[in-house]
Chains A and B, each alone.
Chain A
Amino acid sequence: MAALVGAGARVGMNYLKHYGRQAISGQADSDALQERNASEVFRAFSELKGGPLKLAQMLSIDQSLLPPAYAKQFARAQYSTPPLSYPLVVRTFRREFGKDPRDIFDTFEPQAAHAASIGQVHRATLRGRAFAVKVQYPGVAESLRSDLGVVKPIALQILGLRERDVAAYFKEVEARLLEETDYEKELHSAMELSTACAHLPQIRFPEYHPEFSSRRVITMDWMIGEPFDVFADGPALQDHRNRIGQALWDFYAYQIHHLRHFHADPHPGNFLINGDHLCVLDFGCTKTIGPDFYSKQFAFLDPTLETNPARLAAAMESMDILLPSDTPAQRNHLTELCKKSLELLALPFRMGQFDFDNPAFMKSIYELGEENQKNGTLRGIRGQRGSADTIYLNRTFFGLYSLLSRLRSCIKTPLPEGLTFK
């Protein structure tokens, strides 16, 4: 707790410095201030680990909740958890399997190969086959709920959010987070989704090994490939970028529109690239959507909404974005906002082919978030609107667009097959 209070204090100090500088030089350096504050908050969150760290990551996804400077810092969170000591890994194995890791595998590296959000991954081999063994931090599941409860009010304060604006949001996030500590469920989702998507030609999944998995441990094949970041920032040719981007788009289109059960964590750390193949690694966060929500949500892709205000209003009402109690002024405001968001977010679908090598596109999405954040009228009427189900769907699309922008891919982005508008 002290860590967070400390961040609050440091954020305060940075404001003092900012106002001091402004008083003397007559000009404010607002961006720099925000960057500094973001890194303080981030430091506090990453000192806390576990629940709060995940909360920070979640908050970083909804751009209307967080200014980009915060989002940037939080996006780093995935890489900053401290390693579990080897004796604790052994202890976990003994408890889960009744054996030491080295009694199960021929080799087991005592140093973690890399961190996962609530655990870490060790490399192991057995009879010439290499495995990635993910071990969860002990006590994470137990402490998560209480951590969130304690951290929430402080996080809201530091980030300048109001509890009632984000109550549904927190509830959904908490549910997904608790799910993420359930390795048995993750193993199940991973095996189910990887089987359902096995026919996609360019997507690869590790094989999962239930016999070496438990509540706290998941074992899968060790995958070889280039980390997504390295590939995206490297010298890959445009043609190659397009192929990988298309595979990524098709993978998500198939899950969302066909399976309606999807990998809801499109984060660079969850993908590897090997030649023309995209390997998908982590199924800790998946989301299932029902047919009712699906048809209401994707009704927004209807191209006639742009020119037909009545249809747009109907779509918004069906999702409770517009409520019967709204004043005409509020209706107008929300409708304008919705139009603006649609113009931007549905753009790839509308074009049918889209070049993500377009920094202006991502920048406009960020700016829209910024604008919403600063928009006083909007905050006044935001309340409990829309469906909590949209949170992870938005997160997934936002993540997908960010990944495609990093890849600078130009790909086919058709409307979902079989989608009809009433």
Chain B
Amino acid sequence: METRTRIVEAYTNQLREHGAPPLTVHAFCKSLNLAERDFFQEFASLESVESAIWGAWISGLTARLESGAEWKEFSARHRYLTFLFAFTESSLDWRSLMLTRFNPLSPVASPPFLKAFEEHFKAFASDIISHGISTGEIAHRGQLQAVYPAVLYIHFRAVISFLLRDESKRFERTDAFIEKTVAFAFDVIRTQAIDSAFDLARFLAPSTWGKMS
């Protein structure tokens, strides 16, 4: 077996069985009967192993969706929904691991072990946004739209939090949560609500500054 695959598998097993990552590279390599230099040729740190594990999940999922027959016909909103539903479906294989690793996290925390997960998601989200802009589904807003992928990432993490707390049969409440929040989010970025909010902030901010000085 390839060294990289061996490392990833052993690391995943360690997480699943002990609920925590290995303590040191040394101990991890010893249990694998692997030289440390072989480990470091593949990964820079223990965190980067875990990052690769979660990242591969997202990139595998998006690659599969993007090659689907109907993907090209879908609007941005439908693409994002399809991703989230595919994600919740696939999460059944990951749920125990997610409960260990995501549950203690605040939905806005950005730990090193989720680096690739976040990057892959944001890259995918940018593609969705550009698609939405090209079809006119999302209004073009210059610099402002650079934050959209970050906003979607926060939403995605909120979906994960909801999913991990969901106790309904077959997690149907999560489906409803996704449907409703995405409808709301796309209503907001389609209309002028964000522009109005910024305009209001610009209007209010100088006066606040004025009083304080």
Q: In the complex the two chains form, is A139's CB within 8 Å of B168's CB? A: yes
Name the segment of B26-34, B77-85, B95-103, B199-207 touching the other chain: B77-85
Known A-B contacts A139-B168, A142-B168; A88 and B179 likewise in contact (beta carbons under 8 Å): yes
Asked if residues A88 and B70 are in contact (CB atoms below 8 Å), the reply is: no
Q: Are A143 and B176 in contact (CB under 8 A)?
A: yes
Q: A84 to chain B: which residues have CB within 8 Å?
A: 179
A405 CA / B120 CA spacing, docked (Å) = 62
In the complex where A94-B89, A102-B70, A138-B179 touch, is A87 in contact with B78 (Cβ < 8 A)? yes
For B141, what are the chain A residues with a Cβ–Cβ distance below 8 Å? none
Q: When the two chains form their complex, are residues A87 and B168 in contact, meaning their CB atoms are under 8 A apart?
A: no
Q: Are B85 and A139 within 8 A (Cβ)? A: no
Residue contact B176 to A137, C-beta cutoff 8 Å: yes
Pair A90/B85 contact, Cβ less than 8 Å: yes
Are A139 and B78 in touch, CB under 8 angstroms? no
B4 is an interface residue with CB less than 8 A from chain A: no
Q: Report if A85 contacts B (CB, 8 A).
A: yes
Instruction: Report whether A139 and B172 are in contact in the complex, using a CB–CB cutoff of 8 Å.
Output: yes
Please tell me if the beta carbons of A88 and B175 are within 8 angstroms of each other in the complex: yes
Closest to B84 in A: A87
List A contacts of B176 (CB < 8 A): 137-139, 143
A90, A92, A139: the one within 8 Å of B82 (CB): A90
Chain B residues engaging chain A, CB cutoff 8 angstroms: 70, 74, 77-78, 81-82, 85, 89, 168-170, 172-173, 175-176, 178-179, 182-183
A247 nearest CB across to chain B (Å): 39
Q: Does A91 contact B (CB under 8 A)?
A: yes
CA distance A142 to B173 in the complex (A): 8
Name which of A92, A102, A142 has the most chain B CB atoms within 10 A of its CB: A142
Q: Does A162 contact B (CB under 8 A)?
A: no
Given A138-B179, A142-B168, check contact A87 B81 (CB 8 Å).
Answer: yes
For the residues of A in contact with B, the DSSP-based class is: helix
Partner of B89 from the list A91, A138, A142 (CB cut-off 8 Å) is A91
Q: A102-B70, A142-B168 are in contact. Are A87 and B173 (CB under 8 A)?
A: no
Are B173 and A143 in touch, CB under 8 angstroms?
A: yes
Beyond A87-B81, A91-B85, whether A142 also contacts B172 by CB under 8 A is: yes
Asked whether, in the complex, the Cβ of A139 is within 8 Å of the Cβ of B173, the reply is yes
Q: Please give, as numbers and ranges, the residues of chain B lying within 8 Å of A90 by CB-CB distance.
A: 82, 85
**Which A residues lie within 8 Å of B168 (CB)?**
139, 142
Known pairs A86-B78, A91-B175, A137-B176; A142 contacts B85 (CB<8 A): no
| 25 interchain pairs, CB-CB under 8 A | A82-B183, A84-B179, A85-B183, A87-B78, A87-B82, A88-B85, A90-B82, A90-B85, A91-B85, A91-B89, A92-B175, A95-B89, A102-B70, A137-B176, A138-B172, A138-B173, A138-B175, A139-B173, A139-B175, A139-B176, A141-B172, A142-B172, A142-B173, A143-B173, A143-B176
A414–B27 CA distance with the chains assembled, in angstroms? 90
CB-defined contacts of B78 to chain A, threshold 8 Å? 85-87
Give Cα A84 to B182, complex, Å. 12
Residue numbers in B under 8 Å from A138 (CB-CB): 172-173, 175-176, 179
| Least Cβ–Cβ distance between B38 and chain A, in angstroms | 41
Give every chain B residue within 8 A of A102 (Cβ-Cβ): 70
Q: Are A88 and B81 in contact (CB under 8 A)?
A: yes
CA–CA, A139 to B170, complex, Å?
9
Please name all residues of chain B whose beta carbon is closer than 8 Å to the beta carbon of A143 when the two chains form the complex.
173, 176
A82 to B179 alpha-carbon distance, docked (Å): 11
- Chain A residues, Cβ within 8 Å of B74: 86-87
Q: In the bound complex, how far is the Cα of B175 from the Cα of A232, in angstroms?
A: 40
A87 to B77, CA, bound (A): 9
Contact with B along A46-90 (1 / 0, CB 8 A): 000000000000000000000000000000000000101111101
